[in-house]
């Protein structure tokens, strides 16, 4: 039987449930039997497929071809297969590491998704519980309110003006009003999804009102599940830096290929004219071309960036900033403006009523308690949305128990709160049979709907003088940084035909005002100071009254002067053009509607600024989407906003945003350090090979370069990614969002540092040859090659120390990087091992060098530290000069 044709009772009976929900025991059993409420994920690639993907890399293909060719020649000339074995081993290690890193990064992202996973409110054993959406079972009674994602397919039991947006399923973008009555087939065979007004479906969202429903299908049995195969999972997009690096790699690869072909052809001509072409001769020059390719292509770059990013997001999640889109990590570091909600983000959202205005406090308490969705728990503490809970607590302090009141005057109609209208109304049946409506909301809005007021005994005409007095009281409370809410009433002999808010919320009788404190979060003050020193502008956007907003903004040092605040109403009067110019003047926006937020973001973006914006309510989704960094609230945020956000704050805290920016800057800086390290290393190898080829000697073989690039260099590069932030990370203005990889001197640094390492490597070669042969000359030299290899690897290792900071002296760094220390030890051990363990050394064609040679090579390598220190010193000096000039 189709549940939309049945009455609610019939459905409850059929599914062995009741309006109190399932028992926990029953729910567990059903979960065990029917499985989780999850859509099946697209199947992941198999291990073999992943390995194959790694091997498809053009670089690896070149290497495999090289291995095959040297294998064939080795077979013909009966030489050893050492090269082939080493190339294949390095390729395999590299591919396995690649697969491992990839799956680790993927797991990090999955773990984040799990943290950000949605929860649902259900009735279990008659009480409201928040459970993981995947633990929902058929028969569960779920509660829905504006902003919730519908977690499963369900038949409605209760609907208070509930409206659902079902575009994902039906394509219809206008929200559908929901009912609870059974539908009639009429002469149709079935009713289409979009017309089943008493049903809600997984994948749609509640945008207005509230309701409850009984789950009729979960997981793959839902309508969404039926089309799940058609939904391809969105691929994690690459960050701008990753895209730029890929482009760079591609350009480099082609360039290198060109140079290799050129050198190959040139050498071919050379030997043709000289000793004549032989198999061995061609193989040799082919191997030189391959070494150049190996030397020039930064194989580890992409992997290092991915690893550093994924480690970064994992750390950020531990610090309560959950990244939902990887691109956000980079953008965070460029953030120039942070637009933040007030309530809950700058303040604690722990409301307590501390003051009131009115002529009948008892009635005020009654109105505030009844027109309210919070409730008293068994310990007589209010639970629910903090503003509402504070009012229920307030009522209780006056001796009014919410449940007792509600039993006496049951709710029979309601117009739910929304932040556009800033009001909420409920209607209650009284013992007399007549009805009373209570409305609460923003005082300025509510007072304009009042025509009378309650003077403690009777209803009186609201004169201008009284109106003025109320406004005055409101301002007085707001100036004390209190959040002020007003309450009013209206009598009905019979329930109105139309429960539309507009119809209800007029001709009201004013009852009173409550003022509640919402203390600022203590850590936010420091965060704002840090923001400012980091060149980031903090901005408060709130639905609250301007006086309250300004009082809090002043406490937090967000504004100094009243002229920096503006209201939503004023904003409406300003033209788009005007706003674009004036936007920099304002730091506080009060009494705004969610729509204003989009205008504010766009105006800032128009100034070329990178804007972060927080949001929690249903209507905040557009502004979160528009912002460069859309921030959802983990605690108070609705599913809708969390789903479109780039980052979700697990603690709703402004200070967490600033920490995330800091972390974003650190990660970006570190990636640049790793890039500089790897590129300068590649360049040094290219230069060394190039010069050696020009002068006709072999300085390093392809397998040597492979070893350095793929094995010993990658550990320090990753370790640089874990470097702690530098002392001035939050003292500089944000970087330009469009800056290229080589900006801020990185290109120049790569070139001279590459040249530096190349020079010490070549010197090492000649020193090696001199120690071996006792003569300075250009010649093939096994000792020279061994020393060049040792010097190059060790210079890289010492250079990774240099790269801990691009400009600061490494002797002034206050913290240690234990990962880098371990990576350096690993490099040292591996390099020494390949040189001194006889069978490996033989395979690499290394000569057993003496201790004198060993330490000479080390001595040459360590020179890179003082050289870089001296250059950094002058770089700092010139930067200071520029600053003064």
Residues in contact with ligand ATP by CB under 6 A are: 341-343, 385, 387-388, 417, 419, 422, 424, 440-442, 485, 542-544
Alpha carbon distance 121, 144 (integer Å): 8
DSSP string, 185-236: -TT-S---GGG-TTEE-TT-EEEEEEEEEEEEE-GGGSHHHHTGGG-PPPPP
* Shortest distance, position 597 Cβ to ligand ATP, whole Å: 9
| Residue 399 host element (H or E) | none
Tokens (6 digits) for 57:
């890399």
CB closer to ligand ATP out of 542 and 831: 542
> Cβ contacts of residue 270 below 8 Å, gap of 6+?
none
Q: How far is CA 37 from CA 19, 276, 576, in A?
A: 21, 74, 46
> Cβ contacts of residue 73 below 8 Å, gap of 6+?
79, 279, 280, 283
Cβ-in-10-Å burial (0-12, 13-18, 19+) of 170 comes to middle
* Shortest distance, position 421 Cβ to ligand ATP, whole Å: 8
Nearest CA among 682, 671, 675, 670 for reference residue 708: 682
Q: Are 513 and 454 in contact (CB under 8 A)?
A: no
Q: Are 869 and 810 in contact (CB under 8 A)?
A: yes
* Shortest distance, position 468 Cβ to ligand ATP, whole Å: 20
Q: Give the position of tokens 């959950």.
A: 322
Q: Are 677 and 716 in contact (CB under 8 A)?
A: yes
Q: In this structure, which long-range contacts are made by residues 86-90, counting pairs with CB atoms below 8 Å and at least 24 apart in sequence?
A: 86/703, 86/706, 86/707, 86/843, 86/844, 87/63, 87/702, 87/703, 87/706, 88/64, 90/63, 90/703, 90/706, 90/707, 90/710, 90/711
Alpha carbon distance 348, 521 (integer Å): 5
CB closer to ligand ATP out of 228 and 553: 553
Alpha carbon distance 205, 208 (integer Å): 9
CB closer to ligand ATP out of 387 and 567: 387
* Shortest distance, position 375 Cβ to ligand ATP, whole Å: 14
Q: In this structure, which long-range contacts are made by residues 96-105, counting pairs with CB atoms below 8 Å and at least 24 apart in sequence?
A: 96/51, 97/303, 97/714, 98/54, 98/303, 99/47, 99/50, 99/51, 99/54, 101/303, 101/306, 101/307, 102/50, 102/306, 103/50, 104/307, 104/310, 105/306, 105/307, 105/309, 105/310
Tokens (6 digits) for 85:
């074995």
Buried b (16+ CB within 10 A) or exposed e, 420-456: ebbbbbbbbbeeeeebbbbbbbbbbebbebbebbbee
Q: Give the position of tokens 């599913």.
A: 639
Residue 341 annotated among the catalytic residues of the structure: yes
Nearest CA among 318, 317, 323, 306 for reference residue 101: 306
Tokens (6 digits) for 615:
């949001």
Q: Which of 83, 140, 148, 341 is catalytic?
A: 341
* Shortest distance, position 441 Cβ to ligand ATP, whole Å: 4
* Shortest distance, position 178 Cβ to ligand ATP, whole Å: 22
Q: Are 186 and 243 in contact (CB under 8 A)?
A: no
Tokens (6 digits) for 525:
């003050």
* Shortest distance, position 98 Cβ to ligand ATP, whole Å: 46
Alpha carbon distance 465, 880 (integer Å): 64
> What are the backbone dihedrals phi and psi of residue 156, each rounded to the nearest 5 degrees, phi first?
-70, 140
Alpha carbon distance 351, 385 (integer Å): 10
User: Which residues are known to be catalytic?
Assistant: 341
């Amino acid at each position: 039987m189709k549940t939309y044709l049945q009455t609610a009772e019939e459905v409850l009976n059929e599914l062995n449930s009741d309006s109190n929900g399932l028992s926990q025991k029953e729910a567990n059993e059903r979960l065990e039997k029917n499985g989780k409420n999850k859509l099946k994920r697209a199947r992941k690639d198999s291990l073999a497929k992943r390995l194959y993907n790694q091997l498809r890399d053009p670089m690896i293909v070149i290497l495999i071809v090289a291995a095959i060719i040297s294998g064939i020649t080795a077979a013909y000339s009966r030489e050893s297969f050492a090269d082939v074995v080493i190339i294949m081993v390095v390729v395999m290690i590299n591919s396995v590491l690649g697969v491992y890193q990839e799956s680790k990064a993927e797991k990090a992202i999955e773990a984040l998704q799990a943290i950000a996973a949605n929860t649902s409110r259900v009735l279990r054993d008659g009480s409201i519980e928040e459970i993981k959406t995947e633990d929902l079972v058929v028969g569960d009674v779920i509660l829905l309110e504006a902003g919730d994602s519908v977690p499963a397919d369900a038949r409605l039991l209760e609907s208070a003006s509930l409206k659902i947006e079902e575009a994902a399923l039906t394509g219809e973008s206008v929200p559908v009003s929901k009912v609870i009555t059974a539908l009639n087939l009429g002469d149709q065979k079935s009713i289409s999804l979009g017309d089943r007004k008493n049903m809600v479906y997984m994948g749609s969202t509640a945008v207005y009102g509230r309701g409850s429903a009984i789950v009729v299908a979960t997981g793959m049995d839902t309508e969404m599940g039926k089309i799940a195969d058609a939904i391809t999972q969105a691929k994690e997009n690459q960050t701008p830096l990753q895209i730029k690096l890929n482009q760079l790699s591609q350009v480099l690869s082609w360039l290198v290929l060109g140079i290799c072909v050129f050198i190959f052809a040139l050498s071919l001509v050379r030997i043709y004219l000289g000793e004549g072409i032989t198999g061995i001769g061609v193989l040799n020059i082919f191997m030189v071309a391959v070494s150049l390719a190996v030397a020039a292509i930064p194989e580890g770059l992409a992997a290092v960036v991915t690893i550093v990013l994924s480690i970064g997001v994992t750390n950020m999640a531990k610090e309560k900033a959950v990244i939902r889109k990887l691109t956000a990590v980079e953008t965070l570091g460029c953030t120039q403006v942070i637009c933040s909600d007030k309530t809950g983000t700058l303040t604690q959202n722990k409301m307590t009523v501390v003051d009131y205005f009115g002529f009948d406090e008892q009635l005020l308490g009654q109105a505030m308690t009844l027109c309210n969705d919070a409730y008293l728990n068994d310990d007589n503490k209010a639970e629910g949305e903090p503003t509402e809970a504070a009012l229920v607590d307030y009522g209780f302090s006056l001796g009014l128990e919410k449940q007792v009141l509600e039993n006496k005057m049951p709710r029979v109609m309601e117009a739910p709160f929304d932040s556009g209208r800033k009001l909420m109304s409920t209607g209650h049946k009284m013992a007399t049979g007549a009805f009373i409506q209570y409305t609460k909301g923003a005082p300025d809005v509510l007072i304009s709907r009042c025509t009378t007021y309650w003077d403690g005994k009777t209803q009186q005409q609201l004169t201008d003088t009284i109106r003025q007095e109320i406004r005055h009281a409101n301002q007085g409370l707001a100036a004390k940084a209190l959040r002020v809410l007003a309450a009013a009433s209206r009598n009905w002999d019979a329930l109105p035909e139309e429960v539309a808010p507009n119809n209800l919320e007029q001709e009201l009788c004013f009852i009173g005002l409550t003022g509640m404190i919402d203390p600022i979060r203590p850590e936010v003050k420091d965060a704002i100071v840090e923001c400012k020193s980091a060149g980031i502008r903090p901005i408060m956007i709130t639905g609250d009254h301007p006086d309250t907003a300004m009082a809090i903004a002043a406490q937090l040092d967000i504004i100094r002067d009243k002229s920096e605040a503006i209201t939503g109403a004023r904003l409406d009067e300003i033209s788009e053009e005007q706003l674009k110019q004036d936007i920099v003047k304002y730091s506080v926006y009060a009494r705004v509607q969610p729509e204003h937020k989009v205008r504010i973001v766009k105006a800032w973006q128009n100034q070329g600024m990178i804007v972060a914006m927080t949001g929690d309510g249903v209507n905040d989704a557009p502004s979160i989407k528009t912002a460069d960094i859309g921030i959802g609230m983990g605690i108070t945020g609705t599913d809708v906003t969390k789903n479109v956000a780039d980052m979700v704050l697990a603690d709703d805290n402004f200070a967490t945003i600033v920490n995330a920016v800091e972390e974003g800057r650190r990660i970006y800086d570190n990636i640049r350090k790793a890039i500089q390290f790897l590129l300068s290393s590649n360049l040094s190898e290219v230069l060394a090979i190039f010069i050696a080829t020009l002068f006709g000697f072999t300085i390093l073989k392809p397998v040597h370069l492979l070893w350095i690039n793929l094995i010993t260099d990658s550990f320090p590069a990753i370790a640089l990614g874990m470097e702690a932030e530098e002392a001035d990370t939050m003292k500089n203005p944000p970087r330009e969002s469009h800056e290229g990889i080589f900006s801020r001197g990185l290109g120049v640094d790569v070139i001279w540092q590459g040249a530096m390492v190349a020079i010490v490597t070549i010197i090492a070669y000649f020193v090696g040859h001199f120690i071996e042969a006792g003569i300075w000359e250009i010649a093939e030299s096994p000792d020279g090659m061994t020393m060049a290899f040792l010097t190059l690897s060790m210079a890289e290792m010492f250079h990774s120390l240099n790269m801990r900071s691009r400009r600061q002296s490494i002797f002034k760094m206050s913290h240690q990087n234990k990962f880098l220390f371990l990576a350096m030890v690993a490099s040292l051990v591996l390099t020494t091992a390949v040189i001194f363990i006889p069978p490996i050394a033989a395979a690499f064609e290394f000569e057993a060098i003496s201790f004198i040679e060993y330490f000479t090579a080390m001595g040459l390598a360590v020179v890179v530290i003082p050289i870089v220190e001296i250059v950094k010193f002058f770089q700092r000096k010139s930067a200071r000069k520029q600053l003064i000039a």
